[in-house]
């Protein structure tokens, strides 16, 4: 069915009666248009504002999330981790200051757009990249708590093990310095043990043994 809706076989895709489409943002706007309960505001200016920040999520938060998750080197992980949090905080600075959601007390279009990536922070980034949760009383901390507690979000969130399985390929990353002489014998012994463990688990393609 997805192949019929999208020539690229992309998901999510939606078939509604004799019509179908794909792309998350497009589908969300379509569902919002045909639903009685709206996620987008009725006011044209507020609606445009929501679309503006939905675009920020697609252009900045999502790509930075994947750069952070896919980074092979520790230095790059730190760099992209800071950039990811910067982009999230940029979104929250534009949000209602009291919240807890983007537009105030109720879940909105922008929240639904960003929720999958915020929920992946404790489920994927924390175990695989050492992401540190924000303080509970910070705007980011309150936002995470609000999303985690929201009924419709809880009802549509996957099992935590599924998140880990989906991104497990990014768990093991070994990157060596430019010169072997920079490593002590103890470090090499520890590294060798990790490499052997990875090879036994069938993950040699994830090892970046530069200049080894």
pLDDT in tens, 64-89: 999 999 998 999 999 999 999 999 99
pTM: 0.74
Tell me yes or no: is domain 40-166 CATH 1.10.645.10: no
Where do the domains of the chain lie? 1-37, 40-166, 172-208
pLDDT digits (tens, 9 = 90+) for 169-183: 666 553 433 333 343
> What is the structure's pLDDT at 187?
44
User: DSSP secondary-structure letter at 104?
Assistant: B
Q: Which residues of 93-124 are buried (b: 16+ CB within 10 A; e: fewer)?
A: eebeeebbbbbeeebbbbbbbbbbbbbbbebb
Q: Over the stretch 24-61, which tens digit does the pLDDT of each residue have?
A: 888 889 989 999 889 999 999 999 999 999 999 999 99
């Amino acid at each position: 069915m997805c192949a019929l809706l999208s020539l690229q076989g992309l998901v999510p895709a939606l078939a509604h009666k004799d019509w179908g489409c794909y792309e998350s943002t497009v589908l969300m706007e379509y569902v919002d248009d045909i639903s009685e309960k709206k996620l987008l505001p009725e006011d044209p200016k507020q609606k445009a504002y929501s679309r503006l920040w939905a675009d920020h999520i697609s252009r900045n938060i999502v790509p930075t999330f994947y750069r952070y998750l896919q980074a092979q080197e520790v230095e790059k992980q730190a760099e992209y981790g800071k950039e990811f949090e910067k982009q999230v905080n940029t979104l929250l600075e534009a949000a209602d200051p009291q919240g807890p959601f983007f537009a105030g007390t109720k879940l909105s279009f922008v929240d639904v757009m960003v929720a999958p990536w915020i929920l992946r922070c404790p489920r994927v980034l924390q175990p695989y990249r050492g992401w540190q949760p924000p303080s509970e009383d910070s705007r980011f901390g309150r936002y995470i708590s609000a999303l985690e507690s929201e009924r419709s979000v809880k009802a549509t969130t996957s099992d935590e093990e599924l998140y880990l399985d989906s991104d497990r390929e990014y768990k093991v990353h070994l990157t060596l310095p430019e010169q072997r002489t920079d490593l002590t014998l103890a470090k090499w012994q520890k590294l060798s043990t990790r490499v052997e463990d990875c090879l036994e688990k069938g993950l040699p393609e994830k090892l970046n043994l530069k200049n080894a």
